[in-house]
Amino acid sequence: MAEQDLLTVSVVTPDGNVYESQTRLAVFKTTVGEIGILPNHIPLIASLEIDEVRVKVQGTDDKFDEIAVSGGFVEFSNNVATVVANSAEKKENIDTSRATKARERAERRLETAKQNNDVDTAKRAEISLRKAVNRINVSGH
């Protein structure tokens, strides 16, 4: 691998491009575990968990850009990693108070659904709760 080899990471949603950068390392939480991708990795497609995508900032030893994603998938080939998700937010763009309110709403909906034995509503509330908690975790609060 040549020293100048980089990969491009792009995160897109139905609303457009959320993030794009070149790096030597990107880390994704897939449905079967965490994967790190370096330049010239073999091509792959993987489903993503509701979690964060971490992209190493060029020229640093330990700094990463963090992007909260609501699942989706990552496709990698020809040194381009494209994440397609329903929603995604860069760490610095997350409104923590809004995420906290969303977590509280989801917790209330989940509790009500459990009391009413409403399995479908409970599943939707659990997903909403995971998304809100992920946003709070990525924001660092």
Residue 93 backbone phi and psi in degrees, to 5: -100, 0
**Count of alpha carbons within 13 Å of 16, Cβ hemisphere only?**
0
> Do 82 and 113 have their domain in common?
no
**What is the chain's pLDDT, residue by residue, as a tens digit (141 residues)?**
444 689 999 999 999 999 999 999 999 999 999 999 999 999 999 999 999 999 999 888 889 999 999 999 999 999 999 999 999 999 999 999 999 999 999 999 999 999 999 999 999 999 999 999 999 999 986
Q: Is 81 exposed, middle or buried (0-12, 13-18, 19+ CB in 10 A)?
A: buried
Has residue 114 been placed in a domain? Answer: yes
**Tokens coding 47:** 């489903």
pTM exceeds 0.75, yes or no: yes
Number of domains in the chain: 2
As a dihedral over the C-alpha atoms of residue 63, residue 72, residue 14, residue 23, rounded to 10 degrees, the angle is 30
Last-in-domain residue among 51, 72, 91: 91
> Do 86 and 102 have their domain in common?
no
> Do 86 and 119 have their domain in common?
no
> Do 104 and 129 have their domain in common?
yes
> Do 57 and 107 have their domain in common?
no
Residue 62 neighbours by CB distance under 10 Å: 6
Predicted local distance difference test score (pLDDT) of residue 141: 65
Under DSSP, is residue 47 helix (H, G, I), strand (E, B) or coil?
strand
**Count of alpha carbons within 13 Å of 76, Cβ hemisphere only?**
24
> Do 32 and 74 have their domain in common?
yes
> Do 76 and 108 have their domain in common?
no
Q: Which domain holds residue 16?
A: 7-91
